[in-house]
Amino acid sequence: MTTTATLSEVYLQLMKDDPRWTLIIFASIYTILAIFGIVMNFCVVYVTIRTKHFNNSANTLLAIYSFFELVHQSGHFLFAYNVFWGHDLMPSKIVIQILTPSYFAFSCTTFLLFFTSIDRLICVLFPLRHSNNIFVYGVVLPIVGTCGFLFVLLPNSEPVGDLLIAGSMNDVALDPHFSQSNYAFTMYSTLTFILLGTVAIYVLLAILLHFRKASSNSNSHQFNLRIFRSLFTIVCVNVGGYLLFDLLYFTIIMNEAIIPDLLTKWKWCQIVGILLNVSAASNAPILYFTSQEYRKAFDKELQMVVRIFSRNSVQPN
């Protein structure tokens, strides 16, 4: 397929196959990841609400982050709906409108990782100060999410002809109207800068906690150590996923010298998107295996759910 081909032509070529295995395989993987991610991230939100001592800023921000990942991953159902129910292609503008909540949440998750690192840095530098900045984050995040969505919407606000897509969230990134604009470069450069800043802050946190380890045995310091382990693992997995997407997108996927064919670009973009969504679904498993407090909370709520279902399954004689 030539470099001047459109996404509409890519999908028309993919739909010529009978059965359309490429579309079916990618849609199935995204659907499975979305269901798993939504359930796992909902568990983090639910456990945080149910557990009284999870009322500090770190746990609250983790719950907010998981909620936004939940909304982000819900956008993949549109792709599955079009592929499995035979609705096939939709105008790109309509797809963007339907996926507004997911693009909004995607923008918030990236910046929320940065806000969480700032919150932990404040708690380590000022251990006697309770960092309850949730109100500030609640004001900033909608602004960030709106700005992120506008970065996606504005380049597509001009006429795009007869461009039809199947509803994959990655299609916007491959639309030449967006990918070849200054908006795309500004957006991905900003996200990469924020993600690298998040990593730098966590490296600084590791150094600070290491030097304070021998001199401090306070409850707040021990809590900072425990939550740092979980957050550091989450950041490594999630930031790694986002950075991998940005890196591969600019250096390989959009590099005409390496991948001149739009169909191949589409496939690579879907593969990298799958890796990104694996990281987005990992919050609950990471917290379960790295945090004793979260493991106890998950086990407690799971036992309660099992008892409820066991009680309902008992039929009267």
Q: What is the CATH number of the domain that holds 178?
A: 1.20.1070.10
Residue 3 pLDDT level (bands cut at 50, 70, 90): very low
3-state SS record for the chain? CCCCCCHHHHHHHHHCCCCCHHHHHHHHHHHHHHHHHHHHHHHHHHHHHHCCCCCCHHHHHHHHHHHHHHHHHHCHHHHHHHHHCCCCCEEHHHHHHHCHHHHHHHHHHHHHHHHHHHHHHHHHHCCCCCCCCHHHHHHHHHHHHHHHHHHHHHHHCCCCCCCEECCCCCHHHHCHHHHCCHHHHHHHHHHHHHHHHHHHHHHHHHHHHHHHHCCCCCHHHHHHHHHHHHHHHHHHHHHHHHHHHHHHHHHHHCCCCCCCCHHHHHHHHHHHHHHHHHHHCCHHHHHHHHCHHHHHHHHHHHHHHHHHHHHHHCCCC
* 302 found inside a domain: no
* 316 found inside a domain: no
* 311 found inside a domain: no
pLDDT at 97 over 80: yes
Residue-wise pLDDT for 123-148, tens only, equals: 778 765 555 566 666 677 677 767 76
Owning domain of residue 41: 7-296
* 313 found inside a domain: no
Q: In degrees rounded to 5, what are phi and psi of residue 171?
A: -60, -35
Q: In degrees rounded to 5, what are phi and psi of residue 90?
A: -135, 155
pLDDT at 100 over 90: no
Which tokens go with 275?
């890796």
* 306 found inside a domain: no
* 86 found inside a domain: yes
pLDDT at 74 over 80: yes
Which tokens go with 174?
């491959």
> What average pLDDT does the structure give for the chain?
80
pLDDT at 283 over 70: yes
The pLDDT of residue 2: 46
Which tokens go with 296?
């106890």
Residue-wise pLDDT for 168-200, tens only, equals: 888 877 776 666 666 667 777 778 888 889 889
* 1 found inside a domain: no
User: Looking at the 3D structure of the chain, how many domains does it have?
Assistant: 1
The pLDDT of residue 213: 58
* 310 found inside a domain: no
pLDDT at 234 over 60: yes
**What is the pTM for the complete model shown?**
0.85
The pLDDT of residue 6: 74
